[in-house]
C-alpha cells in the first residue's frame, strides 16, 4: 500500500546559515503542531507553509548564536555526565554500606 505525502525541502541561500535554520525550526515545535491539519495524517499543507514568515538575523549573528548554543550544549552534556557518574558512585557507596562491606565509625 502506498500513500502520497507532501514534503517541503528548504535550501538555504547565502544569507541563511543552515545550522541556524535547523535550530530555529526545532525551536518552533509548538508552532508546527498548531499549524498541522488532518484527521489521520497530521501535516502542514503547502499553502500554510508558504505563508510562514520568520525573522532571521544577519548571517554573522546566526553563526554566533549557533556557536553559543553548541558551547552550552557541550557544557550541559559534560554536567550531565558528571551527574551520572555521581549517581553511580552514590549507588555503589550505598550498596557497600547497606551490605556491611564498609562500616561507618
On whether both 34 and 69 belong to a single domain, the answer is no
Q: What integer pLDDT is reported at residue 1 of this predicted model?
A: 40
pTM, whole model, 2 decimals? 0.69
On whether both 44 and 75 belong to a single domain, the answer is no
Distance CA 105, CA 100 (A): 12
Higher-scoring residue by pLDDT: 4, 61: 61
104: containing domain: 59-105
Q: What's the rounded mean pLDDT across residues 45-65?
A: 90
The three state secondary structure string of 2-64 is: CCCCCCCCCCCCCCCCHHHHHHHHHHCHHHHHHHCECCCCCECCHHHHHHCCCCCCCHHHHHH
Higher-scoring residue by pLDDT: 43, 74: 74
Q: What integer pLDDT is reported at residue 34 of this predicted model?
A: 87
On whether both 15 and 45 belong to a single domain, the answer is yes
The alpha carbon dihedral of 64, 18, 20, 50 has a sign of positive
- How many folded domains does the chain comprise? 2
Q: Indicate whether 86 pLDDT > 80.
A: yes
On whether both 81 and 105 belong to a single domain, the answer is yes
2: pLDDT confidence band, cut at 50, 70 and 90?
A: very low
On whether both 68 and 102 belong to a single domain, the answer is yes
On whether both 47 and 68 belong to a single domain, the answer is no
Amino acid at each position: 500500500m502506498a500513500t502520497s505525502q507532501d514534503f517541503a525541502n528548504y535550501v538555504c541561500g547565502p544569507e541563511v546559515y543552515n545550522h541556524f535554520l535547523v535550530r530555529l525550526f526545532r525551536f518552533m515545535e509548538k508552532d508546527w503542531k498548531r499549524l498541522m491539519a488532518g484527521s489521520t495524517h497530521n501535516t502542514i499543507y503547502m499553502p500554510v507553509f508558504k505563508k510562514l514568515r520568520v525573522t532571521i538575523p544577519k548571517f554573522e549573528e546566526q553563526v554566533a548564536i549557533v556557536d553559543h548554543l553548541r558551547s552550552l550544549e557541550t557544557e550541559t552534556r559534560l554536567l550531565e555526565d558528571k551527574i551520572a557518574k555521581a549517581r553511580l558512585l552514590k549507588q555503589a557507596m550505598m550498596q557497600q554500606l547497606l551490605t556491611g562491606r564498609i562500616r561507618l565509625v
